[in-house]
Amino acid sequence: MRARIFTIRAFLLLVLAIASGCAQADVVIAKAEQTIEKAREVRAEEFAPDYYRQAVDRLAEAKRYQQSNNAAALENAEKALDAAQRAYELAAVHFELAQTREELERTKEEARKKLDALTKELLKLRADRDRLEAAARQAEKERDALRADLEKQSRLLADLKSEKESLGRELDSLNNQIATLSEAREKLQSDRESLRKELEKRTKELEELAARGDSLAKQVAELAAHRASLEKALAEKDREVSKMKAAADSLRKEIATREEALAKERRALEDLQKQREEAEGLLESLRKQSEEERAALEKQLREFETAKKRSEEALLAAKQELKRHEEELAKAKKENEKLMRDLSGLQNEQVRLREESDRITLTFVDKILFESGKAEIQPEGKEALKKVAEILKQYPDRIVQVAGHTDTVPITSARFPSNWDLSVARAVTVLRFLLESEPDLNPRRFIAAGFGEYRPVATNQTEAGRRENRRVEIVILKGKFVIE
């Protein structure tokens, strides 16, 4: 359907170009140049090379015919514009898809980097937490060990205190004994006078008492030495107790310091726990956000894949259409070659054949068709035109234009007020004769045009040049056109 629309539009533009001249061809060429520039901006050379090359080639053909053949220029410009538009549309889809893919990759890479950074930070926080927990466990072990040591020292101190009390009681007992012995000694000394009187009487008793006193003195000396030993031992015990008290105070201070450090570490651990909870919350939030973004990106990717699939389908359809056109062009080329062979038999001094990129032109010059100033076909011209009609009958899909041309010599006739009227009349006469010669020819495929003296092919300053300009051209377009 699109091909039909394009062919109808090309046909209408061709008719308008023939009727209106070269202004429209210039406009279409300018539009084609703008569209090709737009296609180049979206990298049509890469994404739609066939259409782009076709547009550039057609535009070059249009510019080549711009000054000499406006109909050919307009037709090539239209084809260039259509090919450039297709190249732009196809390349724009691929260009946008490529940009979207690049943006999607950049977004994925940024999300991946952000997730990796958060994962590293979480691992670092976990390592700090594990290190602090290990330090806390070590501190608790050291605290328990210090407490056990303190309890042991406390028990030892209690034992020393108990031993000190026992030694004190023993010392008090010895002091009491010494006091008792001192009182007894004083009593003996006070009774010495009375004992002396009874010395003789009680010599034996005194000797016994003296011996007893020596024994008691010896016991007192032993008790005094034992007391000194006990006091020395007690002093050592007191020093040990003082050292233990100092050690216990130092242990208490160290325990207090350790407990304070442990409290700080616990607070730090609590802070880290809070930071960990916040980090886990943030990570969870980022995970949700990443999942949402990932879902959105996957949705966009699916949409782009769908668009890509549609574009690929459209591209495949376009390629199939292009292949069909190429096949048709190949077939048309063969037909054109055959048509050239068929028409080449008509060539002589007054009938000339010329092939161009999009048309074949059969030119009748001088007086083979018409006498000067008249529009009735000569018998020799009728024979030649019958052969042309027979050949055109074999190519029913071709558009045929019959164009009349004159020189610049003014015509003086009541029937033809100007050379233009004469050229139109001659073109219509030839066209009617062709259709009457072969009734199977479709009149809808024929065009009659008169150009008067306004499209010369030679100078009008000489008789030979004017003879070349007085001509009728039968233009057979190479492409096939569908007319409904």
**Integer angstrom CA distances of residue 96 from 47, 88, 110:** 11, 12, 21
Task: Tell me the pLDDT band of 3, cut-offs 50, 70 and 90.
Answer: very low
267 pLDDT exceeds 70? yes
Task: Tell me the pLDDT band of 167, cut-offs 50, 70 and 90.
Answer: low
Please give the full DSSP string across 100-137, using - where no structure is assigned: HHHHHHHHHHHHHHHHHHHHHHHHHHHHHHHHHHHHHH
**Rounded Cα gap, residues 426 and 474, in angstroms:** 12
The pTM for the full model equals 0.39
What residue ranges define each of the domains in the chain, with the CATH number in brackets? 133-283 (1.10.287), 345-484 (3.30.1330.60)
pLDDT at 2: 44
User: Under a CB-based contact definition with an 8 Å cutoff, are residues 468 and 457 in contact?
Assistant: yes
pLDDT digits (tens, 9 = 90+) for 357-368: 889 999 998 788
pLDDT at 483: 52
User: Taking all residues of the chain, what is their mean pLDDT, rounded to a whole number?
Assistant: 81
Based on its alpha-carbon atoms, the radius of gyration of the chain, rounded to whole angstroms, reads: 65
pLDDT digits (tens, 9 = 90+) for 11-49: 454 444 444 545 678 888 888 889 998 888 888 888 888
pLDDT at 386: 95
